[in-house]
Structure 1
Amino acid sequence: MEAYRIWSSALSRELVRSFTGALHTDSAGSVLATATNWEELEIQEEAESGSSVTSKIRLPAQPSWYIQSLLFHLCLEVNRVGGHALPKVTLQELLRDCLDQVVTEYEKLTQHTQSKGREERGAAGRGVKFGLFGRRAE
């Protein structure tokens, strides 16, 4: 069982490393290449007054490309070593480990995005203040 655990840990670490590299890429090409297809869904509701209200929402029609790629490579590796012969516990640990690492990477991404947004707003505010005070000094 220890050998399975070592293999599982190494595999999840390698796959998530590849996933992380793709996830944190900021180029325009990578955004277009990995864009999720969205589906528009129309919802009809009845308002309290009795009239009908129609809303449209957009939902992802497929999981994220990053997740699809990670799961595909995970399946390839499990099948390469004979997934039918692996203990169920090993597969569950492998999936749990991958899930934990993926959630951690998404949390890092959202924290980075939020802090980047704060920095940009702060820089814009400083620019506005500089513009106002700079003109008054002239």
Structure 2
Amino acid sequence: MVVRHGREEIGCVKCHGKSLDHRNDENNITPPDKMYGPRDIDRMCRECHETHDAPARSVLRRWQKRCPEKTDPRTIVCTDCHFRHRLSVRTVEWDKTTGEVLVRRELPAGNEPRTKDIQPDDDRKNRPAGQTRKPRRGSSP
């Protein structure tokens, strides 16, 4: 999820807000401004993705492969198939509703996180008025 959104220059801020306290917390215990529990994921994804344009057979195959334990389609959320955007090493987990720290782990030695800070608003000054993101290759602006 991060890679594909990153290619479109959509970063953390788009979904999680500026989260300045979170980004500036050296102890890494401050949650992002916005978090999404399982009941909120699909609603949040639909803010940008109004339709699901994959062929039904492809969706079914992916669902059976990635979440065979989920037999009721009503329990499936977007990130079950499109993967979570989690860090490869997560040291802190928060309650998505209250923001309380649930789990705090030490970072394994030699496993320092390598992240690229993507700021989706940085290049807006170079875009035509009213354009919120770069057009995809082959599409008209």
Q: Does the pair score TM above 0.5?
A: no
| Higher normalized strand content (fraction of residues) | 1
Larger fraction in helix: 1
Larger radius of gyration: 1
TM range (shorter): under 0.3
